[in-house]
Amino acid sequence: MAHKLLFVCLGNICRSPSAENIMNYLVQQKGLESEIICDSAGTSSYHIGASPDRRMRAAAARRGIKLVGQARQFEPSDFEKFDLILAMDRSNYRDILELDRDNIYSNKVRLMCDFASQHRDKEVPDPYYGGEAGFDHVINLLLDACDGLLEEVIKD
């Protein structure tokens, strides 16, 4: 049975679609497309239906990764659909857990940076209001964290 991963940030146009597409890129490199399914969502409804941010797409393209997808909002039904829900920061983490009123799924929710080995960041910073360097940093951080996450999933 396939492992299902959901990446979550605030608006689902910068960090979480980047994590989803980076993970898909790494999964394809290892030929594991049938074993690992990825999706992303936002805790807010700000950008529903929007494509990934153009600055994020440019930063990913510099690393040979294409960002595709449309923003959607996290729904309580996602708790059952996914094996692991990866929050980009502590605020997203809290917002996700608030929707788990009976505290049934907290073991499925993790912080993305828990899987990073090369970076010391505890959270994936939101690059939305910053410059190009912030978008590049997020791509590098997510490449690191997704690599660690993939190792963990393969071990399972």
Annotated active-site residue 126? The verdict is yes
Give the strands of the sheet with 3-9, arranged side by side: 36-42, 3-9, 84-87, 109-111
Catalytic residue among 39, 78, 126, 144: 126
Handedness of CA 41, 44, 49, 55 (dihedral sign): negative
Total residues found in the chain within this entry: 156
Annotated active-site residue 101? The verdict is no
Please report which residue ranges of the chain form alpha helices under DSSP H. 15-29, 54-61, 78-81, 90-98, 132-155
Catalytic residue among 9, 38, 113, 146: 9
Catalytic residue among 14, 15, 38, 146: 15
Token pair, residue 45, equals 């409804």
What is the CA angle 142-124-101, rounded to 5?
110
Annotated active-site residue 38? The verdict is no
Which positions are annotated as active-site residues?
Answer: 9, 15, 126
